[in-house]
Structure 1
Amino acid sequence: MNLRKALQKIFKIIALRKIRNSKYNQIVTHLTEDEKLVLYNLSKKLENGMVMVEVGSYLGASACFLAWGCSKKTNIFYCIDTWENDSMTEGKRDTYNEFIFNTKDFKDLIKPLRGNSVDVAKTFQGEINLLFIDGDHSYESCLQDWVSWEPFLDRNAIVVFHDIGWAEGVQRVVQEKIVPIAKKEKQLPNLYWAWI
């Protein structure tokens, strides 16, 4: 192993320890520690004044890692969800107050927009620098999320999709819509991201 790879491995171990020991790691989520680290690092690399949008925020774990990464900047972060667990396996329940409690450290950065992603997009204005789609994983819903939010993406924006490892709808949207326009792609077993 060369020195560069050894240093990268050491830095990753240190970063994962930071993730593992953070209070945000206690929030119930389907994200792995590696996925949390990717979200943290992607947002950390954003410049000041950039805009992030998350479709499907659930209890706020992914929102916390994205917000934590850019918390020292003047960025804006819109979290979109019905917070009614419409497509969660645990059943329908209102999770909005849990989201607000879990993300309270970032209340100046996070702007929750409660509603269906497609409906919220109809009134959205501005450009997006990082879009994270983790809503309903059916092909139709994932495609609607993409089609609704893609027009707002700034040039060289980053798009992230969770659950690509098992959700056929997500896989299909990524293959049909993202891969053909991606300038650069990366993937973990269950997380895909690309610069477009």
Structure 2
Amino acid sequence: MPDQSQVSMPIDINSVKGFLSPAEGNTLFECAREMPRGSVALEIGSYCGKSTVYLGLGCKKAQSTLFAVDHHRGSEEHQAGELFHDPELVDETGAFSTLANFRSTIRSAGLDDTVIPVLSSSAQFARVWQGSLSLVFIDGGHSLDAALLDYRSWVGFIPGNGRLAIHDVYPDSETGGQAPITIYRLALASGLFREVAAVDSLRVLERL
């Protein structure tokens, strides 16, 4: 991958709720920008849209499309009483929901023509998906079962030279959960991928 350049943002990206560092975001932008023209990327786990903006802006440069898949009810760690629960993201029914924030972010970033939101779990969407994906970004549920399901549902759609990006890869269990690094190691052990970038907790692999 080439040297990263600072992404020109149409919105104040720091105001968007999320857990992505600027360096990780720039890397995602470059991955999407380098996609073949007219190809498709998939994001698993959009939250309030921070990573979606970086990916979407890269796809816009590549004249490509991003499917942003999220049920928008939060992962296990976002529920009431859990470590990453945000009471500002509770809807009128009392349930955790990031959907309104996500839609506002995408609209403000001018990405309505590039990003296609999919209100679904990734496994449900994978059952009806057809075609290849030049880039898959996994940042969904961080339980081992959820991460494995995301990986197994989508890895087969990545063609040669396509890329798999995984967020929250922490070698030390005291730093972060171990589900993302488990699927990262599975991908490398499969012999189908090589690592092309490691930025903070983001890992980018390329299909051989």
TM-score, reference length from structure 2: 0.81
Equivalent residues, number:
184
What pairs with 1:44-83 in structure 2 (closer than 5 Å)? Answer: 44-83=33-72
Equivalent pair of 2:167/2:202 in contact (CA under 8 Å): yes
In structure 1, distance between residues paired with 2:62 and 2:204: 22
1:167 aligns with 2:177: yes
Q: Which amino acid aligns with 2:27?
A: V
Please, which moves more after superposition, 100-109 or 66-75? 66-75
**1:36 Cα deviation from its structure 2 partner:** 0.9
Q: Which amino acid aligns with 1:173?
A: I
Q: Which has the higher contact order (CA 8 A, sep 6+)?
A: 2
Please, which moves more after superposition, 111-120 or 23-32? 23-32
Normalized per residue, which structure has more strand?
1
Normalized per residue, which structure has more helix?
1
Q: Which amino acid aligns with 2:196?
A: E
Counterpart in the other structure of 2:129: 124
The answer for unaligned runs of 5 or more in structure 2 is 79-83, 87-94, 171-175
Counterpart in the other structure of 1:139: 144
Partner of 1:160, secondary structure, is strand
Q: Which amino acid aligns with 1:142?
A: A
Partner of 1:146, secondary structure, is helix
**1:181 Cα deviation from its structure 2 partner:** 2.1
Equivalent pair of 1:24/1:65 in contact (CA under 8 Å): no
**CA RMSD after TM alignment:** 2.0
Partner of 1:154, secondary structure, is coil
The answer for unaligned runs of 5 or more in structure 1 is 1-7
Equivalent pair of 2:75/2:140 in contact (CA under 8 Å): no
Shift >4 Å, 4+ stretches:
none
Q: Which amino acid aligns with 1:177?
A: A
**1:17 Cα deviation from its structure 2 partner:** 7.6
